[in-house]
Structure 1
Amino acid sequence: MNCSLEIAQVCESIIANISADFVGLALQNSEGPDVRWHYAAGNSNEKYKRISVRYGKGIAGRVISTGSSITINNFPENIHGKALEYPIMLAEKLHYAFAVPIFLKGVAKGVLLVGRRTNAPITEGEQNVVTQGALTLEGMLVSLF
């Protein structure tokens, strides 16, 4: 089975299991520090394909630079910086997001983001589903890098 189809299935399964509105996978470019969104499920448009953020910027860049998960609720009220620094939140009209790092060879190189277009937070159990999804994706992506 091809890898992108398997990745899409993981994203779809997360949406189904925790009733999220959006699931996206961002990866750091192999050349240079920029981070791009490569896969999405539940997306309302194709804008995510054109979004690229600098290392350390936006949700994806921050998760990769810190190697830890980030939760954003009540977007754009509770953020550091400007709303424009969170292009995925704006493009998908998300109010809530939970993003976890994806590690390749021990280094954070990707982000799995789950979002809702309402401000309903995800539970600890749902966070575990997302974390498990990230681990599954790590296993798939290791062959690509």
Structure 2
Amino acid sequence: MSSPLTHREAQILDLIGRGLSSGQIAAKLDIAELTVRKHRSSIMRKLGLNSTARLIAHAGAAVGPGPAIAAADPLVWDALRPREAEVVRHVVAGLTSKEIARLLDISPLTVRKHRERAREKLGIHTLGEMIFRGKVNTPTLAADL
């Protein structure tokens, strides 16, 4: 069975899986960042993925993170407040801000603020980095036990 993705889409999916941002992918493939974003949208549609977090998790599961992310320190969960850690844990699981908001009974804006604060505290620059580093040592919440 052939892949539903074009050769270029497969290349981009591989690079997403290695933790590269759209800008980094554009530079590596010598194409515009807008072109990368359009391919990313097409990949998501073809694979039935409805969020960038799910795309990154899917791509990472297929190829594993690139050397820079694999060598990075795992997240320091103790640096986060409990709600920030809870939000990050759900991001790592691939949930969107809206899904997390519904789950935690808070607004999507509050979820985004928790994500921003967590990124600042942890020195994380991309969603992919948060997901890959978080998968290394994601704690289990009491609700999951």
TM range (shorter): under 0.3
Larger Rg: 2
Structure 1 length as normaliser, TM-score?
A: 0.26
Greater RCO (Cα-Cα under 8 Å, separation 6 or more): 2
Give the structure with the larger helix fraction: 2
Structure 2 length as normaliser, TM-score?
A: 0.26
